[in-house]
Amino acid sequence: MMILPYRTQVFVPHLGRMLKAKLDSGADNSSLDLDFASGLRVAGYVNISNSLGKSKRTPYALMDIVLPDPIGTRQIRVNLADRSHLRTPLLLGRSALQGVLIDPCI
Phi, psi of 86 (to 5 degrees): -105, 165
- Asked if residues 30 and 92 have their Cβ atoms less than 8 Å apart, the reply is yes
Residue spans of the chain under pLDDT 70? none
Domains of the chain: 2-83 (2.40.70.10)
Give the 3-state secondary structure of residue 36.
Answer: helix
Q: How many CB atoms lie within 10 A of CB 98?
A: 9
pLDDT tens for each residue of 46-76: 998 877 889 999 999 999 999 988 889 999 9
Residue 101: strand pairing partners: 3
Q: How many CB atoms lie within 10 A of CB 20?
A: 13
